[in-house]
Homo-oligomer: A and B are copies of this chain.
Amino acid sequence: MNSFGRIFRVSIFGESHGAGAGIVIDGCPPGIPVTDDDFEKDLARRRSGADGTTPRKESDIPEVISGFFNGRTTGAPVAIIFRNSDTRSSDYSKFRAMPRPGHADFTSNLKYKGYNDMRGSGHFSGRITVGLVAAGVIAKKIIKDTDISAELVEAGGSRDIKKAVSEAASDNDSVGGIIECRIRNMTQGLGEPFFDSFESVLAHIIFAVPGVRGLEFGSGFKAASMRGSEHNDNFISFNGKTETNNHAGINGGITNGNEIFFRLAMKPTSSIAKTQITFNMEKKEMGELKAEGRHDTSFALRVPPVIEAAAAIAAADLFLINRIYQDIQ
């Protein structure tokens, strides 16, 4: 539920306005060197600060509790904590009565019978992806010859992302976006039929990232209108290189060595400064809601390093699992 992976297994925890957020990583091979700079590089990209991101400032210093010795992983579980510092919990409990549209307020309150921590959306906040990024830093070291790179390529339907975000901000509104991710030089043979195809495992973790609405690999939705003769990627070399790459480096759920490419849709931030009309569960009538708190105009701006981390975690797990096929018989 809050853990993912079979061998390289991450367990996430934390809340937006509680003590902090963090992650435990099990199945991490020993001897992997990770520096503070390694963490900071990815954490900085996720951090707020740019135009269109929340004014909340978190320093995101990783506090490593276990699993490291002399700068390298030991093979024991790695536990990393990030303290929350810049929290301002105005009255979030009102969202039990009047759940914000598009938010987890209604469903989390219902599922957890009112015991959930709603401050800053609690466990449902994007805040907890900070732990995912930390685990991704280590995962990237496991698949060390592989390069994973995600970027926001569109916001509000426009390639001029800066403008789309600033316009939405000045309208007290928010805006969604498209993220593209490329994985280069991925080991061949990763992915497990039937259920743990490379796409399945990746999709599982990608759709766990708050706000993802769609995911496509390679030709994606275009494939639906293509002919087989056009969509098939002809092999052109002994090592599996293909002429085209509609299959995004994956055949039958297993990596073929070509570039893996996927694209995903992020919804616009649900919390907006604009007044909304929604149902008041206590008064049992429609009412006006103004979502206070500090929010990203487009959290999609901060998601690319989270997607990279998610992809790295999924790939590292499949990479380690794939070793079982070596040198048995």
Task: Give the complex CA separation of A3 and B79 in angstroms.
Answer: 13
A57 close to chain B: CB less than 8 A: no
Contact: B14 with A26, CB < 8 Å? Answer: no
One of B3, B177, B192, B250 near A224 (C-beta < 8 A):
B177
Contact: A208 with B253, CB < 8 Å? Answer: yes
**Set of chain B residues within 8 Å of A254, measured between Cβ atoms:** 104, 107-108, 110-111
One of B64, B225, B286 near A157 (C-beta < 8 A):
B225
Contact: B325 with A324, CB < 8 Å? Answer: no
One of B75, B106, B173, B230 near A115 (C-beta < 8 A):
B75
Contact: A225 with B76, CB < 8 Å? Answer: no
Task: Give the complex CA separation of A199 and B112 in angstroms.
Answer: 19
Contact: A223 with B268, CB < 8 Å? Answer: yes
What per-residue 1/0 map shows which CB atoms of A253-281 lie under 8 Å from chain B? 11110000000011111111010111101
- Of A36-44, A45-53, A121-129, the stretch lying at the interface with chain B is A121-129
Task: Give the complex CA separation of A155 and B252 in angstroms.
Answer: 21
Task: Give the complex CA separation of A123 and B252 in angstroms.
Answer: 10
Residues A207 and B214 in contact in the complex (CB < 8 Å), given A75-B111, A107-B252, A252-B104: no
One of B77, B200, B265 near A13 (C-beta < 8 A):
B77
A304 close to chain B: CB less than 8 A: no
**Set of chain B residues within 8 Å of A168, measured between Cβ atoms:** 227-228
One of B11, B106, B113, B215 near A251 (C-beta < 8 A):
B106
**Set of chain B residues within 8 Å of A228, measured between Cβ atoms:** 102, 168, 173-175, 268-272, 274
Contact: A101 with B242, CB < 8 Å? Answer: yes
Contact: A171 with B26, CB < 8 Å? Answer: no
**Set of chain B residues within 8 Å of A197, measured between Cβ atoms:** 207-208
One of B214, B225, B268 near A231 (C-beta < 8 A):
B268
**Set of chain B residues within 8 Å of A279, measured between Cβ atoms:** 234-238
A residues 196-247 with Cβ under 8 Å of B? 196-197, 199-208, 210, 212-238, 240, 242, 246-247
Give 21 A-B contacts (CB < 8 Å), ordered by A residue: A1-B194, A1-B321, A13-B76, A15-B66, A18-B66, A19-B65, A31-B113, A65-B81, A74-B112, A76-B193, A101-B233, A104-B193, A107-B252, A110-B189, A111-B325, A178-B221, A199-B212, A203-B206, A214-B221, A226-B267, A235-B279
Task: Give the 9 A-B residue pairs with the shortest CB-CB distance, closest first.
Answer: A104-B252, A157-B225, A214-B216, A174-B228, A76-B123, A107-B254, A31-B329, A101-B232, A30-B115
Please name 19 further chain A to chain B contacts, defined as beta carbons within 8 Å, in addition to the given A220-B265, A223-B268, sorted by A numbering. Answer: A7-B324, A12-B194, A15-B66, A29-B325, A30-B113, A30-B329, A155-B224, A176-B224, A176-B225, A178-B221, A200-B203, A200-B208, A203-B203, A203-B204, A213-B223, A214-B215, A216-B216, A219-B267, A234-B279
